[in-house]
Structure 1
C-alpha cells in the first residue's frame, strides 16, 4: 500500500478492528503511523511490521541450559514502516535517535567496533538470513518502539526479531518460520552484538501469546501456545523499573550459565537439564571443591525452576490463578536465594530489585506475587496484583522509584507480524 493509502486507512473501521485485535486498545497507533510515514513520498510502497516485547513468567535463567521457560509477548511493541531498496543498503531512522542508521549489506562479517550497536544487529540479522540461504536486500524506513529500554521487556530482542520479520516480508514472502527468525536474532545478539543470551527472549517475541517453551533440543525448541488473560481473573500484570543500570553486568549474566554447565560437566552431563535432584544432592561433597557452593545452588535453582514452569503452565490451562500466584512467588524466592541474581556482588550498595520486592510485599501483602524479572542483577521486578490493590501498590512503588516506573502490561496473542488490512 502507498503512504497515502495507509494514512487514509488509519481511521477506518477495518483498521481499528485490526488494531484492537492486536493491541487490545488503540495504543496511540494514529500518531505512531503518522510519524513513521513522514519519511516517505505519497506514492511510496510502504509496508508495516510489528514485533512485541516479552515478559518472562517463569524459567529464570533456564533456557541456556536446555531447560523450560514460560513467557508471554506484551502489547508494547516495536513498529516499523519500510520500503525495499535495490542497492543493498539499509537506511533506518528511529524515534529517540538524532541520526539515521546507514549500512551497506555487501559486507556481512562481524565488525568488532560495532559490538553493542544497532548497526551490529542489522548486520547480524542479515548475515543470519544469508547463512541460512534466505534472500535479503536493502530497505529504508522508520522504527518507533514503545518498549522501554532497560525495562526487562526485551527491547533488543524485539528489534532483532523485527528486523528478521522485515527481511522475511520484503524478500521471502513472509515464509521464514517464527522460531527460525528467533534463532537468527539470537545469532545476531551473540556473535555481532557480543552479548551472551539464550533463545527465550527472541522466541517469545516472534511466536506471541503465552508460550511454554522447551529447549531440551536448543536448535528445535518445542513451543506450546496458550490463551490466557490475567485481566479476566481480576489481576494486572506489570513490571517495576527500579532504575538500576545494566552496564558492566555481562560477567554477572555469563556466570549463571557457566556455573551450571560446570556442575553438569563435573557430573558427566552436557547441561543442567540432564541432572536429577538426588544426583545433585549426592554429589555435593565433591562438587563444593570442584565447582563451588554458588554453582551448586544455581543448579538446584535450575532443577526446581524447570519443574515450576510445568506447574505454572498447568495452572494457566486450568485458570487457577491462586496456584499460579503461589508458584510465581516460589520462583521469585528461588531466584533470590539460590540463583542469586537480584543484585551484583560487584556493586552491593545497589539493591533495587530486593528493595522493590520487599516494598511491594509491604504494600500489598497476600494474594499477589513478585519476582525478579529477566536476567536480573539490576533493572526490573515483575508483579501480579489484583485490580483493587493496583493503585495503592503503584502509588507506593512510584514514590520510591519515580513516576512511570510501574508499567502495566497485557499479553498480546500475536507475535511478530506484518500489519495488513
Structure 2
C-alpha cells in the first residue's frame, strides 16, 4: 500500500489528479465509481493542508470505520466478535515537526523545526485547530469527549508501551459519520496511532498494539467505557474474527471470506436517533453482566455456561433482577453464535450464516434489550428500522422463510448495529435488490440515511 516515492504537496496534487494513485484508491474503496470523488477529496485535503501549514513534503494516511457483523456487546466480557473494516475512512495529510528520527519504510522524511516543535497540531475538516504538547500526558476530565483527549491518550499510550512519539502537523478529513455506529472515534485513534507508528517507529508498531492503545485512550482520556472490538477492527482491517479471552493478547484472525462473493452487500441505515444521554444505558449492560459474573467469582461472563445460570436461577433473579439474567444469557449464546458464524462463512454456507446473523439480532432485541432506551420510549428509531427492513426484505412486503427459515427473509437479514439504543441498523441484502432497499429506507429516514458499504481489506495504513 506504500508508494516508493515521497512527494511535496504540489507534485502530489498533480500525481493524484492524473490518476497516479488510482490503483491504491481502488484497493481502499473497492467501488470504482468512487474514484473521481476520492481524487477530488485527496486533492482538497492537500490544498487545505497547504493553506494551513504551507507547501513541503507530506505523507498521507488512512484509517477505516468498522461494521459489527456478530458479537453484540460481547467484547467487554472477554468474548468473541466478528467485525469488518469498511470503505468509509478518515484520511490525514501529515508533516513531521522537528524530527530527525522520522522514518518510513521507503526512506526518511525530515520534519521542519520551529516554534511548534514538540506540539501536535491538527485541523479536522471545519473544526478549530487543536494543539497537544508531547509533554502533556495527564488525564484531564475537563477534556472528556474531545478530540484533544484522544490525541493525548494515544500519545501517552505509545510512551507507556515504550514506543517513540513525535510532533506533527496534520489536516484530517473524515467520511466516517459520527454517531452512526461506524466507530468514528476508533478510526480516529487508529489514524493517530498509525501516524506515530510510521513516522517515528518505522511502521513497526503492530495493528493489535495500536488498537489496545486506542482503547485505553478512549476509556481513560476520552471518558467512554468501551470494549476493544471497534479499535481492533479498524486497525487490523478486513473481515476479522477476534477472541478477547486474553485481553492483553487477543486472538485476531483475518478471514478469507467476503459476503460479496455470495452476492450480498452490507447496508447501514441511520435511524436518526441521538447517542446523547445514552452513557448510562451502555454502562448498565456492562454493569449487569459483571454483576452476574461476580456471583460466580469472576470479573466477566466469559467461561460461565447456560447451565450455570439455570442451576442458580432463583438466587440470581433475587439478587440482580430479570434483565441481568437476560443479558447474561445473551452473552453466552451470542459468544457461541460468533464461532458458528465464522464456521458457516468460511465453509461457504451463506444460508446458515444469515440465519445466525438474524438470531443475533433477535437476541439483542429480546434479551440484551439495546434497541431503545427505557428513558425515552416514545422514540424507537432502531425498532422502526428493523420493522421496515423486515417488510422490505420479505416477498411483496410479507414475511418469507426464504431458503434458510427461522428469521431469514427472502432478500436478506437485519440486526441492530453496534452499541444500540439509537443510531444504526445493519442489513445484509442481496445485490439485486440492495439499491431498492436503500431507496425504501431513505424514504422512511431521509435522503442518505442508508449506505451501501463494502468490506475494506486493510486497516490503518500509510498511503503515501
Question: For this structure pair, what is the TM-score category when the shorter chain's length is used for normalisation?
Answer: over 0.9
Structure 1 residue 18 displacement after superposition: 1.8
Q: Which aligned runs of 4 or more in structure 1 are off by greater than 4 angstroms?
A: 11-14
State how far apart, in whole Å, the 2-side matches of 1:275 and 1:96 are.
48
In structure 1, what is the equivalent of residue 461 of structure 2? 417
The 5 Å alignment of 1:111-130 reads: 111-130=140-159
- Determine the structure 2 residue equivalent to 1:37: 46
Q: Which residue of 1 aligns with 2:69?
A: 57
Give the Cα separation in 2 of the matches to 1:239 and 1:29.
21
SS at match of 2:21: helix
Q: How many pairs are equivalent? A: 419
- How far the C-alpha of 1:5 sits from its partner, in A, is 2.8
- Equivalences for residues 287-366 of structure 1 within 5 A: 287-365=316-394, 366=409
> Which string of whole-angstrom CA distances, capped at 9 and with x for unpartnered residues, describes residues 203-257 of structure 1?
0000000000000001111001013232232212111100000001111111111
Give the Cα separation in 2 of the matches to 1:255 and 1:120. 24
> Taking structure 2 as the reference length, what is the TM-score of the superposition?
0.88
> Which residue of structure 2 lines up, in the alignment, with residue 89 of structure 1?
119
Using the size of structure 1 for normalisation, the TM-score is: 0.97
Greater Cα shift, 48-57 or 231-240: 231-240
TM-superposed deviation, 1:322: 1.1
**C-alpha separation between the residues in 2 aligned to 1:105 and 1:32?**
30
* Residue 7 of structure 1 pairs with residue 13 of structure 2: yes
Measured after TM superposition, the shift of residue 43 of structure 1 is 5.2
CA distance in structure 1 between the partners assigned to 2:300 and 2:238 by the alignment: 28
Cα drift, residue 325 of structure 1: 1.1
Give the match for residue 451 of structure 2: 407
Unaligned runs of 5+ in 1: none
2:414 to 359, 370, 377: 370
| Rounded Cα–Cα distance in structure 1 between residues aligned with 2:440 and 2:62 | 34
Residues 340-386 of structure 1, C-alpha deviation per residue, up to 9 Å, x if partnerless?
Answer: 00001111111111111011101121231100000000000000111
Structure 2 contact 344–350 (Cα < 8 Å) conserved: yes
Candidates 233, 237, 246, aligned match of 1:217? 246
Alignment correspondent of 1:379: 423
Tell me what 2:403 maps to: none
CA distance in 1 between partners of 2:297 and 2:161 (Å): 33
The answer to whether the 8 A contact 1:209-1:412 is kept is yes
Q: CA deviation at 1:105?
A: 2.2
State the Cα deviation string for residues 243-299 of structure 1 (Å, max 9, x = none).
000001111111111111110110223321110111111111100011111111001
Counterpart CA distance in 1 for 2:44 and 2:124 is 10
Cα RMSD after superposing both structures: 1.3
The offset of 1:11, in angstroms, is 4.3
**In the aligned structure 2, how far is the partner of 1:105 from the partner of 1:369?**
47
* Alignment counterpart, residue 20 of structure 1, candidates 26, 47, 64: 26
Distance 1:63 1:72, change over 3 A: same
User: What is the distance in 2 between the residues matched to 1:386 and 1:409?
Assistant: 13
The CA deviation at 1:31 is 1.3
Structure 1 residue 137: Cα displacement: 1.3
**Which segment drifts farther, 31-40 or 333-342?**
31-40
| Aligned mates of 1:265, 1:274 — CA distance in 2 | 12
CA distance in 2, matches of 1:29, 1:354: 34
Q: Is the 8 A contact 1:208 1:413 kept in 2?
A: yes
SS in structure 2 at match of 1:74? strand
**How much has 1:12 moved relative to structure 2?**
5.2
Once the 2 structures are TM-superposed, how far is the Cα of residue 57 of structure 1 from its aligned partner? 0.3
